[in-house]
């Protein structure tokens, strides 16, 4: 049974690179979720794919601890949780060609124009993502915020490395367009629209 200490990993020191493959012993495929919140998606994915490694990056200490504890209680040996600002990590410290899938579900929309600079997904972030994921990797994004969704489209569509693919992909945990995150479940119950997009990298 893993302990919470087995699940949690420290962020890299300043100037150090982070290669998530080093967290797992056997060269297995690695998927990473940014903003894992209460961990609903990670839990289900890690249970369904015990031969893959999963990393959750969560900035809020409360959710980071909650999810790490949840993974330990479910006895999941294939999940690691890091408390870090994923934007800084992706722009400055991630290794290249290291992820088989990147999951981003309901990133904070920062709706006010003066806060748009705080959005996770911007031009520089997208430029980094296409070098951090492996060629042929899957990148799935969903949001309940129509304007942020358009913003994301405008920043992803110019990238020649990204090919849009169907959102459903049972191999990556998406069936009937549902990722099963806590926010998604809540918004579906409320009847709010959800906007979804997935890419394969060339």
Ligand X SMILES: C[S@@+](CC[C@H](N)C(=O)[O-])C[C@H]1O[C@@H](n2cnc3c(N)ncnc32)[C@H](O)[C@@H]1O
Binding positions for ligand X, rule: CB under 6 A: 34-37, 57-60, 63, 85-87, 105-108, 120, 181-184
d(CA 174, CA 139): 12
Pick 115 or 202: Cβ nearer ligand X: 115
Helix or strand (DSSP H, E) at 61: helix 61-73
Q: Is 125 left (phi over 0), alpha (psi -120 to 50) or beta?
A: alpha
Write out the H or E segment, with its range, that includes residue 196.
strand 195-201
Nearer to ligand X, 62 or 114 (CB): 62
Q: Please give the residue whose beta carbon sits closest to ligand X in the complex.
A: 35
Helix (H) / strand (E) element for 81: namely strand 79-82
Whose Cβ is closer to ligand X: residue 96's or residue 186's? 186
> Active-site residue among 6, 85, 108, 122?
108
Residue 108 annotated in active site: yes
Structure tokens at 69: 């504890």
Beta partners for residue 102, in sequence order:
32, 139
Q: Enter the tokens of residue 151.
A: 């913003």
The DSSP code for 175 is B
CB 42 within 8 A of CB 79: yes
Residue closer to ligand X, measured from CB, 26 or 190? 190
Q: Is 191 helix (H, G, I), strand (E, B) or coil?
A: coil
Q: What are the residue numbers of the active site?
A: 108
């Amino acid at each position: 049974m893993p302990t919470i200490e087995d699940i949690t990993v420290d962020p890299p020191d300043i100037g150090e690179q982070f290669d998530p493959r080093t967290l797992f012993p056997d060269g297995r495929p690695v998927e990473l979720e940014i903003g894992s919140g209460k961990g609903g998606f990670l839990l289900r994915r890690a249970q369904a794919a015990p031969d893959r490694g999963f990393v959750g990056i969560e900035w809020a200490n409360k959710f980071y601890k909650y999810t790490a504890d949840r993974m330990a209680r479910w006895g999941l040996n294939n999940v690691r949780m890091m408390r870090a600002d994923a934007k800084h990590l992706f722009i400055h410290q991630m290794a290249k060609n290291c992820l088989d899938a990147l999951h981003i579900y309901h990133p904070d929309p920062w709706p006010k124009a003066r806060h748009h600079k705080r959005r996770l997904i911007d031009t520089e972030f997208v430029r980094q993502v296409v070098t951090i994921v492996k060629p042929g990797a899957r990148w799935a994004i969903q949001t309940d915020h129509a304007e942020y969704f358009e913003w994301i489209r405008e920043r992803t569509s110019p990238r020649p490395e990204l090919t849009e693919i169907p959102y459903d992909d049972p191999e990556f945990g998406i069936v009937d367009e549902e990722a099963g995150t806590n926010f998604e479940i809540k918004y579906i119950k409320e009847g709010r629209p959800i906007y979804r997009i997935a890419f394969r990298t060339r």
